[in-house]
């Protein structure tokens, strides 16, 4: 499918989705979030895709929701259209793993979009922030909740109240990103991680993603029970037999997603 605000390249089981509104530093407008939802749904359905990398440009992952598009809206407008709500839910509904590869600005809705992915690898020039407070509003697509779970209350509160940006070093130190890589290596590193994931048993990958996400959505007791049942259920798969046999026979496993 052809998109106007993003590009999709599929190679070797990895879909690389690039946000592409350079004139507005990839600000999220209605068209972009709708196209992104469609692109992710397509990738989820596509047998040639086993992992997804979402990125922007070297200057900006995304500089937030499009302020020009939002500025004149009323409460009734944003409430009735549920601004970005349903489209953002499509991101977290994606079953295949999504890696956010962040260079440059990830601000407001851009930071929230990165946090809605499964993990974030960032470039040395990355800058994260929730500067909505400077516009007289607050985060609206998960920022107050997700940033707090990633980095804790104190840092999250400071960022939401002052609007200050966090650089890559601080983002790694505080657990917002899994790792920082040189800016020119961002895409190769993110794609290499995606390829590594795509070589695993897809059943185990989906189960691992579901189980880790329980840690955010339920109590510890329920999450551990969920994990235990998923772990046990994986013993009904051929991939478990193959993975363990391959280890014992000192060879690479040949997973078949069964």
Q: Does 142 bind ligand HXC (CB under 6 A)?
A: no
Among 19, 65, 126, 207, binds ligand HXC (CB under 6 A): 65
For the window 119-138, what string marks contact with ligand HXC as x by the rule CB under 6 A? ------------xx--x---
Closest CA to 95 of 56, 40, 141: 40
Give me the least distance between CB of 174 and ligand HXC, in Å please: 20
Output the CA torsion 22→28→34→35 (10° steps): 20
Q: How far apart are CB 84 and ligand HXC at their closest, in Å?
A: 5
Partners of residue 134 on adjacent β-strands: none
Decide if 56 is catalytic. Answer: no
Please count the residues of this chain forming the interface with ligand HXC, following the rule CB under 6 A.
20
36 touches ligand HXC by CB under 6 A: no
- Which is closer to ligand HXC, CB of 6 or CB of 107? 107
**What is the nearest approach in angstroms of ligand HXC to the Cβ of residue 179?**
23
208 is catalytic: no
Closest to ligand HXC by CB, 51 vs 111, is 111
| Beta carbon nearer to ligand HXC, 84 or 255 | 84
Rule CB under 6 A: choose which of 4, 12, 45, 68 binds ligand HXC. 68
Binding site for ligand HXC (CB under 6 A): 24-25, 27, 63-68, 83-84, 105, 107-109, 131-132, 135, 140-141
């Amino acid at each position: 499918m052809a998109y106007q605000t993003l590009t999709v390249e599929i190679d070797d089981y990895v879909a690389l989705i690039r946000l592409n509104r350079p004139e507005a530093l990839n600000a999220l407008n209605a068209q972009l979030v709708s196209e992104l939802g469609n692109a992710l749904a397509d990738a989820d359905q596509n047998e040639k895709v086993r992992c997804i990398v979402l990125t922007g440009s070297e200057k900006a992952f995304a500089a937030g929701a499009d302020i020009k598009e939002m500025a004149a809206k009323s409460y009734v407008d944003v409430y009735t259209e549920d601004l970005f709500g349903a489209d953002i839910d499509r991101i977290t509904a994606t079953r295949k793993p999504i890696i956010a590869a962040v260079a440059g600005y990830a601000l407001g809705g851009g930071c929230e979009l990165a946090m809605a992915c499964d993990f974030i690898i960032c470039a040395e020039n990355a800058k994260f922030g929730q500067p909505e407070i400077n516009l007289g509003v607050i985060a609206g697509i998960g920022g107050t909740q997700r940033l707090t779970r990633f980095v804790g209350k104190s840092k999250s509160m400071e960022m939401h109240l002052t609007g200050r940006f966090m650089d890559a070093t601080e983002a790694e130190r505080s657990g917002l990103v899994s790792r920082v890589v040189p800016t020119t290596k961002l895409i190769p590193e993110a794609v290499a991680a995606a390829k590594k994931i795509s070589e695993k048993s897809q059943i185990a990958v989906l189960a691992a993603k579901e189980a880790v996400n329980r840690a955010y959505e339920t109590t510890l007791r329920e999450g551990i029970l969920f994990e235990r049942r998923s772990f046990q259920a994986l013993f009904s798969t051929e991939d478990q037999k193959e993975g363990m046999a391959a280890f014992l026979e000192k060879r690479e496993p040949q997973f078949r997603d069964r």
